[in-house]
Amino acid sequence: MTKPIDVSKIERVFIRGLNWRLGDSLMTTPFIAAVRELFPRARIDLAVPERVRRVFEGNPAITNIIPFDTSHEYKSLSAKMRFARELAGQKYDVAFLLQRAIEAALLTAYAKIPVRIGYDSDMRGFLLTHTVSEKDWSLTKASLHQVDYYLRILKKYFTLPRDDYSLAIYPLERDRAATHAKVLAQGIDIAKDRFVVFSPGTSYGVAKKWDIDRWNELAVRITREYPGMKVLLTGSDYDMEYCSAMPLGNGVCSVVGATEIGELIHVLAASRCVVTIDNGNAHLAAALQKPLVVLFGSSNPVTTAPYRRNEDVIYKKIYCSPCCDKICREKHHRCMKEISVDEVLAMIGQRLK
């Protein structure tokens, strides 16, 4: 029988975050907020790779951010064991494992953290003191949003004080000047100009993408139908080749590959509307409570749409969608091709009113 958890005795909390990028990390912020509310006086430490650190900086729910990247500094077994010994030295009372791999359970068990809570995925249930069943879970078939998937870990053993959690991100003043300079150099003054942000790219694969010619047509029509409105392309290094096919000029500018997460936060915060596929910027715009249009195709909006923003999603549920494939297995890419420029423009128009 699972031992009851005495909330009053929990003073030090360890959370093993995700290894993934912007969007997935943002979808853990409601969980972190709930943990803080459950343990208002506790020290709460979060271990995540350095590449997503900025997602959590400034978050008042977190006491310390611990850089932990198993693909770099902690790649070797000896380095992982060293990290586990460091965890043991911190005398944590409870560990919440958002990462689903057995590795997180092994490290916290080795560190002898007395309460270890997480999903029983990757055959790791025997290493946890308190498990949550992951039976039948999959991104293509799940009826539970990814945010609620994480909150479900808490709901199994605690009573949450509320049920209206939302994504959280915190703009920092230190990023403002660099952001303004970078975007101004490309032709947009984010303090004065009216502009729509485009986020066409993803590192996941081509199945999520909308045709670049349609992005171009959409940009032309926005600048023509909304005089003075500009369009700013955003994206990571992964997106540079894809976005390079889109002509610039005539009110269309690009900072693809040029912004860090902190700078991107300020860019989206200053925009009039964000238009994106299912990628990290969709969740970032939702966290900033910006007007938003999200194009879904191969991925599942039930699990990864911007949290509680279903009205912002365009999704054509054809017979093979969602498949969550990187490349369309049916070779027709209908799920994205059936989304028209007219439809997207109409939704943008509703949000620019």
Total residue length of the chain: 353
> Mind listing the pLDDT tens digit for each residue in 34-65?
999 999 999 999 999 999 999 999 999 999 99
Task: Extract the tokens encoding 217.
Answer: 């047509």
Q: What backbone phi and psi angles, to 5 degrees, belong to 55?
A: -60, -30
pLDDT at site 137: 66
Reported confidence tier of residue 139, pLDDT bands at 50, 70, 90: low
Task: Extract the tokens encoding 10.
Answer: 């929990």
The pTM of this model reads 0.94
Which CATH number among 3.40.190.10, 3.40.630.30, 3.30.110.60, 3.40.50.2000 corresponds to the domain 7-155? 3.40.50.2000
| Helical spans, DSSP H, in the chain | 22-26, 29-38, 53-56, 77-90, 102-110, 146-155, 176-185, 212-225, 240-243, 261-270, 280-287, 301-304, 334-337, 341-352
Break the chain into its structural domains and give their ranges: 7-155, 175-352
Reported confidence tier of residue 288, pLDDT bands at 50, 70, 90: very high
> Mind listing the pLDDT tens digit for each residue in 291-339?
999 999 999 999 999 999 999 999 999 999 999 999 999 999 999 999 9
Q: Is the pLDDT of residue 143 over 90?
A: no
Which CATH number among 3.40.1180.10, 3.40.50.150, 3.40.605.10, 3.40.50.2000 corresponds to the domain 175-352? 3.40.50.2000
pLDDT at site 287: 98
Mean predicted lDDT score pLDDT of the chain: 94
